[in-house]
Every structure is written in C-alpha cells, then in structure tokens.
C-alpha cells in the first residue's frame, strides 16, 4: 500500500477493511503524510490502536481460567451460562460454548453489559469461531414444576448434552451443575471473568430474546418484544387487563393482586 497515491476516502476504506490494524511501515507512512485529512485519520488510528491494545489485555485476562485449565491437561473447555431466570414469562435458556485456544473475539463480555446490536454481532462471530456451541431450554411448565433454579440447571444440562464435542472441563457462571461427570468450576460473576462463559451468556441471551420476539406475535398485547417477559410496569398492566397467557410462569405471577399491579384498588 502506498498511502501517497491514495485518496482520503480510499485510505478510510482500507483502514476499515483492516480493522485499523497496520504494519509498522504503514503506520510510519501515515505519520509522515502531511495532508490535513490524512493527519486526522492518523490521530484516529492512534486512538484506535490504544483502544485495541487495551481490549487485547482485557481479553488476555478473560482467558486466565481457560489457560489454567489447559495447564492442568484439559483440552476441551466449555463455558456455560443462562438467560431468563428473572422474567415473569417465557422459558429459561442456557448455552454452552467451546472456543478454540487461540480465539480472539473483540468485545466479548458479560451480555448484560452489551447493547442488543453488539450482542447480535457477537452472536454471529461466536458461531463462526466456536468449536461447538449449543443451547438448552427449560419450558414454562418445567419452571413451574421444578422451580426456577432447578429449571435453569436442567437447561444447562441440556445445553451440554447438545454439544457436538464432549468437554473435559466446564466453566460455569456461579452455580454447580448436577448430574454431569466432567469436572466443573463455578465462578462467581463468571460471565465477566471467563471468555467461554461470556460467550455462553451472549448465545443464551440472544437466543432467548429472539424467542421472545416471536412470542410477541403469538401473544400480542404484553409487550414481549420490548420487555422480554420481565415485570415492567407496562407488562404488569397488561396482565391486569388481559389476564395471563400460556407463556406466564404461574409460580411467578399467581400472587400478583390488582392493587399490587396498578397501585390502586379497582
């Protein structure tokens, strides 16, 4: 690449295609170019490189649990997390993700820290990078029968069973999964500490959100496309007006009284 022969627009396009990653020679050429437009691009490039360096350090820290496991002889490591324990309606969804040792996926983090658009983009990237990934779903009926904790653990079991490759080590967010034979390590707030668990949290969250978007069409009026089943004021008001639909967890909603929903007796 000869920067001097390129227009500013061509340079911007080139940088986007390279994700602002350049060789030392290319960086030096930017630094020496005297054009005002290129100088502004160079300043942007410097900022991007600082942010990239910080992100690589963050991702390196998020792989410490995986590296420790590999140092102990584990080779196939799965991260597990769930989404949907708190809502009044809808299933709970768990995901299990096996990433290769050299996986670098910029932006992977606890799904709760990410915007919906960022989660959607990372969902696709994780699919492309993962050795294997799978989801497990516990239905509303299973939640009401078992209780939400046991249903969440069941969803995690299902996710692990659906993996194409059997893991020899499991990293899981906060809880210990019963009924699995491979060793596991529960990590408190693991979705922000382990890249594998963070990836699982994104896959579970996006999968469940997309399910709730479809349920919004099946059960209109409850606002599932926006509240995803959580007990927002509008959702509670809809229950008061429409009653419960088959998607509502009876063990979560059976004690809701009109005065608790709208604040006044009617």
The Cβ of residue 136 has, within 10 Å, a number of other Cβ atoms equal to: 25
The pLDDT value given to residue 21? 74
Same domain for 41 and 109, yes or no, is no
Same domain for 117 and 241, yes or no, is no
Per the structure, the count of domains in the chain is 3
Q: Is it the case that residue 253 has pLDDT exceeding 80?
A: yes
Same domain for 183 and 146, yes or no, is yes
Q: Is it the case that residue 225 has pLDDT exceeding 50?
A: yes
Same domain for 23 and 146, yes or no, is no
The pLDDT value given to residue 108? 97
Same domain for 237 and 132, yes or no, is no
| Residue appearing with tokens 């299990």 | 96
Same domain for 138 and 159, yes or no, is yes
Same domain for 55 and 132, yes or no, is no
> Please, what is the end-to-end C-alpha distance for the chain in angstroms?
73
Bridge partner residues of 132 (DSSP): 98
Same domain for 169 and 93, yes or no, is yes
Task: pLDDT band for 250, please (50, 70, 90 cuts).
Answer: very high
Task: pLDDT band for 266, please (50, 70, 90 cuts).
Answer: very low
CA nearest neighbour of 190 among 96, 93, 107, 80: 80
Lowest-pLDDT choice from 22-26, 134-138, 192-196, 249-253 = 22-26
CATH number (domain holding residue 199): 3.30.420.10
Same domain for 22 and 143, yes or no, is no
Q: Is it the case that residue 254 has pLDDT exceeding 90?
A: no
pTM of the predicted model, to two decimals? 0.84
Q: Is it the case that residue 157 has pLDDT exceeding 70?
A: yes
Residue 160 belongs to what domain range? 64-214
Cβ burial 186-200 (10 Å sphere, 16+ → b, else e): ebeebbbbbbbbbbb
Average pLDDT over residues 49-59: 91
Q: Which residues contact 218 (CB under 8 A, 6 or more apart)?
A: none
- Out of 182, 198, 214, pick the residue that ends a domain: 214
Q: Is it the case that residue 1 has pLDDT exceeding 90?
A: no
The pLDDT value given to residue 258? 54
Output 126 or 27, whichever has higher pLDDT: 126
Bridge partner residues of 248 (DSSP): 89
């Amino acid at each position: 690449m000869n920067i001097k022969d390129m227009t500013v627009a061509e340079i911007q396009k080139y940088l986007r295609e390279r994700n602002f990653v350049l060789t030392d020679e290319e960086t030096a050429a930017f630094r020496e170019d005297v054009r005002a437009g290129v100088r502004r691009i160079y300043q942007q490039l410097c900022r991007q490189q600082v942010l990239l360096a910080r992100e690589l350090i963050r991702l390196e820290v998020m792989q410490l649990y995986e590296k420790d496991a590999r140092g102990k002889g584990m080779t196939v490591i799965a991260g597990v997390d769930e989404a949907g324990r708190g809502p009044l309606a809808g299933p709970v969804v768990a995901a299990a993700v096996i990433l290769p040792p050299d996986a670098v996926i910029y932006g992977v983090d606890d799904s709760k820290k990410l915007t919906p658009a960022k989660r959607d983009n990372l969902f696709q990237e994780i699919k492309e990078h993962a050795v294997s990934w799978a989801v497990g779903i516990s239905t509303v009926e299973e939640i009401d029968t078992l209780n939400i904790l046991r249903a969440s653990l069941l969803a995690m079991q299902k996710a692990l069973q659906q993996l194409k490759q059997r893991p020899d080590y499991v990293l899981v967010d906060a809880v210990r999964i019963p009924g699995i034979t491979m060793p596991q390590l529960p990590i408190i707030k693991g979705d922000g500490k382990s890249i594998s668990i963070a990836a699982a949290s994104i896959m579970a969250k996006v999968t469940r959100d997309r399910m709730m978007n479809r349920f919004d069409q099946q059960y209109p009026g409850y606002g599932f496309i926006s509240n995803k089943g959580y007990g927002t004021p509008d959702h509670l008001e809809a229950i008061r007006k429409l009653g419960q639909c088959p998607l509502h967890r009876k063990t979560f909603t059976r004690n809701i009284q009109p005065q608790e929903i709208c604040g006044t007796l009617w």
